[in-house]
Amino acid sequence: MTAAALTHLDEDEKLFRDTVRRFARERIQPLVRQMDEACVLDKGILKQFFELGLMGIEIPEEYGGQGGNFFQCMLAIEELAAVDPAAAIVVDIQNSIVNNAVMRWGTEEQKRQYLPRLANDTIGAYALSEAGAGSDAFALTTAAVEDGSEYRITGRKLWISNAAEAGLFVLFANINPAAGYKGITAFLVDRNTPGFQVGKKEDKIGLRASSTCELILDNVRVPKTSVLGEPGKGYKIAIETLNEGRIAIGAQMTGLAQGALDHAVKYAKERKQFGKAIGEFQAVQFDLARMAIDVEASRLLVYNSARLRDAGQPYIKEAAMVKWYASEIAEKVASKAVEIHGGVGVTKDYPVEKLYRDAKIGRIYEGTSNIQLMTIARKLLG
C-alpha cells in the first residue's frame, strides 16, 4: 500500500472529516480554556457528540449507530484532538474500546441492551487499571465471587478515564485468583448498581477537562448475564481492545501535534522581530519543516494501522509503532511550538502551553512507550 493510498480519502471520508473539523473549531475551540480551568467538559459538547453520531461511529445502524468504520473513528479523534485532546479522549474511549468490546464479545441480548444507549445517550468507560496493575495489567486484585445467579465484585480501580460522566463500565475482575490471568473476566456494570461508587477525581497536569477517577466496588452484585464474553476470558478482551485503542491514541496524539504545528505556523507569520516576521528566519523555517515531517509521518502510521484493522489484516505491530511514534512526536512538536511562541508560549493566553501539557500522557496511558517497544521487538523476533 503506497503512501498516496494511505493518505487518500474518498469523498465520504473527506466530508466526514471536514464536518468534525468544523464542529471542533466552531463549537469546542471557544470553550477549551474554560473547560481546562474548570476541569470539566461542557455538557452541551457531550450532548452534541451524541447528536452528531460521534459516540457510535462503528455501531451498526440496527442498534442506533452510524454504521461507519474504524478509520472514520480515527479521523474524528484526530480532528477533535487538534482543538482539544481532552474532548477527543471521550470519543476515543467510547468508540475504540467500549463500543468495540460490546460489538465483538457481547451476546445479542447485550448488544440490544447497551449499543443503542452507547450510540445515543450513555458514555462508556473501561475499568482495567488498579494501583498495582498498570503496565502489568493482569496483576489486578479486584475479585468477583460467584453467588448463585450473580457475581459479587469487590475492589478498587484507578485511572479510569470518562468515569465521572460514564453510565456504563466495561469492568475487569478475577473470578479465580488461583488461575492468575486466566481467571480475569469482563463485566458490563451500570453506574447505578448498588455498591458501585465513582471516587476521587485525579488532578492532572494535562487533559484536565477529561475525568480520570477511582472506582470503589463494595459487594457490587451483577447477574451472570452481565459477563462480557466468557468467564475467564477477560484477558483476551483486554489485549485485543487495547491494541485497537493504541491506534486511537496515535490519532489523538497526531491531532494534538497538528494543532500545535498550526498554532506555530500562524504565530510565525504574525510575530515580528528585527523588522520582519520570525517565519522569514531560516532557523524557524527549519523547525516548522521538521515538525511538519513528524506530523505527516505520524498520520501515515495512524492511517496505515486503521486501514489494516478495517481490512481484517494483522496490525498489532503497527498499532504499537503508531502509539510509540505519535506520542513521542506529540510531545516534541508541542514543545517546539511553545519555543516558537517564545515567552507568550508558556502563558495561558496562548493554546500551545495546554497542548504541551496534554501531550505528556501520550507516552504513558494505554501502554507506556517501553511496552510498545517490547511489543514491536517481540513481533520482529517472532
- State phi, psi for 210 to the nearest 5 degrees: -80, 125
pLDDT higher than 50, residue 1 = no
pLDDT tens across 260-269, in order? 999 999 999 9
Whether 26 and 51 map to the same domain: the answer is yes
**Last residue of one domain, picked from the residues 232, 255, 282:** 232
Whose cell is 471542533? That residue is: 24
**Residues of the domain holding 196:** 125-232
pLDDT higher than 70, residue 6 = no
CATH number at residue 355: 1.20.140.10
Which DSSP symbol is given to 197?
Answer: E
**Cα distance between residue 281 and residue 302, in whole Å:** 32
Whether 283 and 333 map to the same domain: the answer is yes
Q: Is the dihedral of CA 358, 361, 366, 368 positive or negative?
A: positive
Whether 245 and 375 map to the same domain: the answer is yes
What is the signed CA dihedral for 305, 208, 98, 378, rounded to 10 degrees? 40
**Last residue of one domain, picked from the residues 123, 141, 170:** 123
Quick one: cell of 293?
515531517
Start-end of H helices in 106-172: 108-120
- State phi, psi for 132 to the nearest 5 degrees: -105, 10
- Write down the pLDDT at residue 2: 47
**Cα distance between residue 116 and residue 102, in whole Å:** 11
Q: Which positions are catalytic?
A: 366
Quick one: cell of 316?
498489532
- Overall domain count for the chain: 3
pLDDT higher than 50, residue 141 = yes
Least-confidence region, from 8-17, 89-98, 350-359: 8-17
Whether 152 and 192 map to the same domain: the answer is yes
Arithmetic mean of pLDDT, 341-347: 97
CATH number at residue 18: 1.10.540.10
Whether 65 and 82 map to the same domain: the answer is yes
Q: What is the chain's alpha carbon radius of gyration, rounded to the nearest angstrom? A: 21
- Write down the pLDDT at residue 135: 85
pLDDT higher than 80, residue 153 = yes
Percent of the chain whose predicted confidence (pLDDT) is above 70:
98
- Write down the pLDDT at residue 7: 63
pLDDT tens across 92-126, in order? 999 999 999 999 999 999 999 999 999 999 999 99
Residue type, 217: L
pLDDT higher than 90, residue 299 = yes
User: In what helix (H) or strand (E) does residue 255 lie, and over which residues does it extend?
Assistant: helix 234-270
Whether 193 and 262 map to the same domain: the answer is no
Arithmetic mean of pLDDT, 187-193: 98
**Last residue of one domain, picked from the residues 171, 204, 232:** 232
Arithmetic mean of pLDDT, 271-290: 98
Whether 210 and 273 map to the same domain: the answer is no
Strand partners, 224: none
Whether 239 and 297 map to the same domain: the answer is yes
Question: Does residue 119 contact residue 56 with C-beta atoms inside 8 Å?
Answer: yes
Question: Does residue 58 contact residue 68 with C-beta atoms inside 8 Å?
Answer: yes
- State phi, psi for 171 to the nearest 5 degrees: -120, 135
pLDDT tens across 357-370, in order? 999 999 999 899 99
Whether 369 and 254 map to the same domain: the answer is yes
Whether 336 and 263 map to the same domain: the answer is yes
3-state secondary structure of 131: coil
**Cα distance between residue 79 and residue 64, in whole Å:** 23
- Write down the pLDDT at residue 379: 96
Percent of the chain whose predicted confidence (pLDDT) is above 90:
96
CATH number at residue 145: 2.40.110.10
Whether 273 and 356 map to the same domain: the answer is yes
Arithmetic mean of pLDDT, 257-279: 98
**Cα distance between residue 13 and residue 79, in whole Å:** 12
The pTM for the full model equals: 0.96
- Write down the pLDDT at residue 8: 79
Burial 16-49 (b: 16+ CB within 10 A, else e): bbebbbebbeebbbebbeebbeebbbbeebbeeb
Arithmetic mean of pLDDT, 12-32: 97
Least-confidence region, from 130-139, 207-216, 249-258, 355-364: 130-139
**Cα distance between residue 106 and residue 293, in whole Å:** 41
pLDDT higher than 50, residue 45 = yes
Whether 258 and 376 map to the same domain: the answer is yes
**Cα distance between residue 82 and residue 261, in whole Å:** 9
**Cα distance between residue 200 and residue 131, in whole Å:** 13
